Amino acid sequence: MENASEGMRSKASAVTPFSTSCEAQFPSGSSSVTQAKTGMSFSSGSISGESETFIADKSKAVEFDSIRVKVGLLDRLMGLAGELVLARNQIIQSVSSKNANAMESAAQRVDLITVEMQDAIMATRMQSIGMVFNKFKRIVRDFAGGIGKDVRLIIEGEEVELDKSIIEAIGEPLNRIIINAIEYGIETPDIRETCGKPRNGLIRISAHHEAGHVIIKVIDDGTGLDIGKVKARVLVLGLAPQAQLDVMSEKEIIRFVFRAGFSMTDKEDGKLCLEAASNCIVKLGGTIDMETQPGRGCCVTIKLPLTLAIIPSLLLSVGEERFAIPQVNLVDLVRFSGKNIKHQVEQIGNAMVIRHRGRLLPVVRMRDVIRTVEQEQVTDLQVFQEENSVVNIAVVTSGNFQYGLIVDELLDSAEIVVKSLGRHTKGCKVYAGATILGDGKVALILDLTGICALMKLNDISVENEEDARTKNIETSVVSEKTERRSLLIVTNGTNEFFGIPLELVARIEKIKFSEIEDIGGRKSIRYRGGILPLFRIEDAANVTPANASENVVAVVFKSGNRELGLIFSGIVDIVETDAAMDKGTYRQPGISGSIVVNNRITLLVDLLGLVSEIMPENLVEKEKSNCVREEFANVQKEGGRL
Amino acid sequence: MRENTMPSLSTVKTEEHTGSLELVIAHVANMACALKCMEVQEIIKEKDITKVHGAPPYVRGAINLRGHIVSIIDMRIKFGYEKRNDHEDMAIVVVKEKDENIGLLVDSADDILIASMDKIEAPPANIKGVGRNCFRGVFKKEDDLVAILNVSEILTLAC
């Protein structure tokens, strides 16, 4: 009976082996090569001879099949592989000798090495998009020349890197979009002149990163799309009835150009419709959109996820469910607790706001977002009945607009692999994808721009922006030339306050004073499987020593490639200030100057100066470790396995 | 899949019969339906379905199937029955459709059998609930009628 059951399962899976689904998502190398080929021959075939095109395509195929990797990167991988071998030996040894301590340290090494290795391997797959973009220079020139148009191509953001599989697949849809823009968008020079435009048309291709996505834009300055004409074509082709068109927005009507069977003309060559391009991009898990201004041109925006990419993110929970927010979208985490919550999270009508860094920040509850997508009524406007509840707010950014998201719990930061949601759940605007957590469960990745649009937060942002601006003018005289800086204000429990530039701070850790080990004249603490050297500001600078207390905080920062911690008694605040820095009065080793924050003189800590003062050998050490690695690489070369 | 839920499989033959069809029998509410064995990838019992808010009502959620995200379609909702909470017999039939794995949530997956073609008839015109297109045919089991589902048609249905 059991055998039979096995038999049926193995048969079912043999019919459609699971592994193929991976290829289906990302078209394999060979298939996209043929796509690229057709694209190439289509464009250049009209000008150059058939044989020449063929040769060009062949070299292209070779290029796509192989990958060019920097030797430095390979060396790094080689070194890491060597270290991995060593760590393995260490594990085998400690297992046979049953030495728990050695095993632990070996496990930590493996952990470190895998992280680095993962980075290095991901880096080998990243290719700059210029590889695809530059191909269009010739295509545009040849194709436009062939139909008597004059088109100038501007390429921006060629340095943006994307995963190899996406680079391979994006060429063909882009080609279609550009050819389409030249053929139907850009007018002939004579017509352009009568319209008061320069004789040569302009096509601009650009790429940039935005919130964990890559945005590719193809902008032309041609005729644009005439909504009326699109409507008429839709009716002629019978894609939708008139009644449906009447209730559709302009944007929805434009989307018809991506529908199967749509073309603006009846000519046979007009069949080069955008549907195939759209399908390609959707298959990659991206979206495509078109904006148009009649007479002024079109802008096709392609939004591609960094699929395959591993992105650092923050996990949070609402009720039983867990969600992830990409770290790039995260600005701050705010936590209010205690009796005065009602004063911290204020309500204006139905909207909730908090005061955050001197401006009003709109906040929404994640629960309300879920209710809204489920199309339930948001009923309980009374937010915080309990006096002693705790409110966790993740301050996030979408584009250049910030808002707060109230969640039940902030869990942890984790590196997640982005996976696209299935076809049936594509319609949900609030998710950017899904991921699989350490325990094997699925968590959804929030699309913060989508939430923003869903909760209609955009309108508030304008007011908010103005609000903040007027406030600034009222409270302080803002000179545009002084640079704004974010400072972490800390104290030693005395009357002295210190400011540390926030961008240098890696983390802040609460530690117990009794856990600090004082060995060899150095203080340190065991931390994340390694040793974190600790020191105090008074070790270098002439300031009042700290009061003795059990709970201290360590401001962790990076110096070279290792982390160091600076101990203080407590954190006061994070402020953003544009006050001028006084470089004279308090300048000394470890202190770069002073600044007035909240009517208090605050000493600015010079972290790197401090390090060179207290640990001058830190730099030497760094060089040495590089030497060791090189030697090791040499040994590897000669002896193979150690 | 535990063996007690797979009754009498000893009769199943794996080689293709001419004039017969291998079927996976499942129950949705009180309706017996069948899927062609060739379409089914596997049958799993997964209880941990992550809800996807904002998805169409028939999407129960998503699961992790060996590193891939698989959407779960609640067949009860598709066929217009009431939603039922998780229970012991519940099973997910994983099918591959348009390059994507999709899980069909059924109330129970009971049997695999070989149906000879002469016991299969075209679907009667008055099948209620969903359109006729959703069924490939009806198989006359000894004591029961089993509707053979047209998976791709069901999945393209908007409701």
For residue A254, the 8-state DSSP code is H
To test the contact with chain B by mutation, choose from A15, A429, A436, A439 the residue with the greatest count of B C-beta atoms within 10 A, namely A436
Identify all chain B residues contacting A374, using CB atoms and an 8 Å cutoff: 53-54
Q: CB contact, 8 Å: A455 with chain B? A: no
Among the partner-chain residues A370, A429, A434, the one whose CB lies closest to the CB of B69 is A434
Identify all chain B residues contacting A15, using CB atoms and an 8 Å cutoff: 38, 41
Identify all chain B residues contacting A7, using CB atoms and an 8 Å cutoff: 12, 14
Residue A608 has pLDDT above 70, yes or no: yes
Give the model's pLDDT for residue A52. 38
Which residue of chain B comes nearest to A319, CA vs CA?
B51
Q: CB contact, 8 Å: B15 with chain A? A: no
Restricting to A residues 214-273, those with a Cβ less than 8 Å away from any Cβ of B are: none
Give the model's pLDDT for residue A319. 82
Question: Would you say A403 and A8 are in contact if contact means Cβ atoms under 8 Å apart?
Answer: no
Give the model's pLDDT for residue A78. 92
Which H/E stretch holds residue A243?
A: helix A242-246
CB contact under 8 A, B41 and A8: no
Residue-wise pLDDT tens digits, A485-502: 788 888 887 778 888 888
Among the partner-chain residues B50, B68, B73, the one whose CB lies closest to the CB of A443 is B50
Determine phi and psi for A561, rounding to 5 degrees: -110, 25
CB contact under 8 A, A5 and B9: yes
Q: Which of A101-115, A173-187, A329-343 has the lowest mean pLDDT?
A: A329-343
Give the model's pLDDT for residue A56. 43
Name A54's Cβ contacts closer than 8 Å, sequence gap at least 6. Answer: A41
Helix A607-614 vs helix A617-639: angle between axes, to the nearest 10 degrees? 80
Which residue of chain B comes nearest to A375, CA vs CA?
B54
**ipTM given for this complex:** 0.73
| Arithmetic mean of pLDDT over chain A | 73
Residue-wise pLDDT tens digits, A351-385: 788 888 777 888 888 888 888 777 766 555 555 54
Q: CB contact, 8 Å: B63 with chain A? A: yes
pTM for this entry: 0.46
Residue A252 has pLDDT above 80, yes or no: no
Give the model's pLDDT for residue A483. 60
CB contact under 8 A, B62 and A422: yes
Among the partner-chain residues B41, B59, B63, the one whose CB lies closest to the CB of A425 is B59
Angle (CA) A223-A224-A228 rounded to 5° is 110
Question: Would you say A256 and A250 are in contact if contact means Cβ atoms under 8 Å apart?
Answer: no
Alpha helices in A126-241 (DSSP H): 130-133, 135-146, 164-180, 189-194, 227-237
Q: CB contact, 8 Å: A304 with chain B? A: no
To test the contact with chain A by mutation, choose from B52, B72, B154 the residue with the greatest count of A C-beta atoms within 10 A, namely B52
Identify all chain A residues contacting B52, using CB atoms and an 8 Å cutoff: 421, 425, 428, 431, 444
Task: State the distance between the two ends of chain A, measured CA to CA, in whole angstroms.
Answer: 51
For the beta sheet containing A570-577, the strands, ordered from the edge strand earlier in sequence to the opposite edge, are A570-577, A485-491, A497-501, A600-605, A591-597
Among the partner-chain residues B10, B53, B70, the one whose CB lies closest to the CB of A1 is B10
User: What distance in Å separates residue A215's CA from the closest CA in chain B?
Assistant: 24
Give the model's pLDDT for residue A586. 78
Identify all chain A residues contacting B8, using CB atoms and an 8 Å cutoff: 1
CB contact under 8 A, A9 and B55: no
Name the pLDDT band for A399 (thresholds 50, 70, 90). low
